[in-house]
């Protein structure tokens, strides 16, 4: 009968609205928990504002928040406080982490420079998108601090040429130790003025396919002579992780200020 159909429809609507309410509660709970960064569970996010039954769209009659900005600002404040607590537990990024190098930063980009004999050495890395957080933890309320593993480049300039390496940081077998993989290398003209771009006609080869003897001499001993050893890599990861975390907190503060305008 029409009455039974209406009752069934109403029951379905209530179940749908309950799911929406539970999803919102789960997101709110996570935002207010004080935990630092975690992977987003998109299954918890639901942007549907209405429920469709047949050809009829039924909108929720529950009261809407007057202004989401207040709630968002409060959530950002909780996140900022949690991230600052985490920041206090780890050493801050410091140029002293790279003995012999001059260190400059510009937002996400970090540059290290030094001389080695008649060589000018430049290291560049960018911490954007350098942090990957595991999907699952044994204790979701005690997630580990994010670790940044940014790709980086080394340029060794002598005269009118520069030997360039493009490298990827990887975790070593020993916990807390790091290594690198050479993605490609090439020789390019030295930088002139402010133009650091490598001409498109310069030949570059993959770092994966090279004679094992040359690999040992070039990737290991040649670079180690110039200070690129295991200790340098640990310091790079520590600096990048701290610097990225500082920028993340700064972004949250900027967002909070923007929302409050």
Give pLDDT tens digits for 59-95.
Answer: 555 555 568 999 999 999 999 999 998 888 887 889 8
3-state secondary structure of 22: helix
- Give the number of domains in the chain: 2
Closest residue by Cα to residue 162 from 119, 123, 204: 119
Q: Which strand ranges, in their side-by-side order, compose the sheet holding 119-126?
A: 102-106, 109-116, 119-126, 152-158, 161-171, 178-189, 205-206
Q: Same domain, yes or no, for 116 and 188? A: yes
Between residues 22 and 91, the one the model is more confident about: 91
CA-CA-CA-CA torsion sign (131, 34, 243, 69): positive
Q: Which domain does 122 fall in, by range?
A: 95-260
Strands 152-158, 109-116: parallel, antiparallel or unpaired by DSSP? unpaired
CA proximity to 156, closest of 225, 229, 105: 225
pLDDT computed for residue 3 by the predictor: 44
Structure tokens at 132: 């990957």
pLDDT digits (tens, 9 = 90+) for 28-67: 444 444 556 776 665 555 555 555 556 665 655 555 556 8
What's the count of helices (H) and strands (E) in the chain, helices before strands?
5, 9
Where is the domain boundary, 64, 79, 111? 64
Most confident of 18-27, 82-91, 185-194: 185-194
pLDDT at residue 89, as a whole number: 85
Q: Which residue(s) pair with 169 in the sheet?
A: 180
Asked if 126 and 13 sit in the same domain, the reply is no
Residue 114 sits in the same domain as residue 237: yes
Question: How does the average pLDDT of the chain come out, rounded?
Answer: 82
Angle at 103 between CA 257 and CA 154, to 5 degrees: 115
- Answer whether residue 70 is part of any domain: no
Distance, in Å, from the CA atom of 34 to the CA atom of 45, rounded to the nearest integer, reads 19
Residue 83 lies in a domain: no
Model pTM score: 0.75
* Same-domain status, 109 and 194: yes
Rounded mean pLDDT of 156-176? 95
- CATH code (residue 204): 3.10.280.10
**Co-location of 130 and 251 in the same domain:** yes
> Residue 194: is its pLDDT beyond 90?
no
pLDDT (0 to 100) of residue 38: 72
Average pLDDT over residues 222-236: 97
């Amino acid at each position: 009968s029409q009455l039974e159909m209406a009752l069934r429809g109403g029951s379905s609507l209530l179940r749908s609205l309950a799911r929406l309410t539970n999803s919102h509660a789960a997101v709110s709970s996570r935002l207010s928990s004080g935990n630092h960064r975690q992977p987003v569970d998109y299954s918890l996010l639901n942007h549907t504002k209405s429920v469709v039954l047949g050809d009829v769209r039924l909108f929720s009659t529950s009261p809407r928040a007057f202004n989401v900005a207040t709630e968002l600002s409060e959530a950002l404040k909780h996140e900022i406080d949690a991230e600052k607590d985490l920041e206090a537990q780890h050493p801050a990024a410091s140029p002293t982490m790279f003995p012999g190098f001059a260190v400059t930063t510009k937002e996400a980009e970090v540059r290290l420079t030094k001389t080695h004999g008649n060589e000018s050495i430049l290291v560049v890395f960018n911490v954007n998108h350098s942090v990957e957080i595991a999907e699952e933890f044994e204790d979701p309320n005690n997630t580990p601090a994010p670790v940044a593993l940014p790709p980086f480049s080394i340029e060794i300039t002598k005269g009118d040429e520069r030997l360039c390496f493009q490298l990827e940081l990887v975790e070593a077998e020993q916990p807390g130790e790091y290594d690198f993989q050479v993605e490609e290398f090439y020789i390019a003209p030295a930088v002139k003025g402010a133009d650091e771009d490598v001409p498109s006609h310069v030949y570059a080869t993959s770092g994966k396919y090279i004679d094992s003897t040359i690999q040992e001499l070039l990737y290991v001993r040649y670079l180690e002579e110039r200070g690129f050893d295991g200790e340098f890599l640990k310091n790079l990861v520590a600096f990048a992780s701290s610097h990225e975390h500082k920028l993340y907190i700064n972004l949250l503060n900027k967002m909070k200020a923007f929302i409050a305008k």
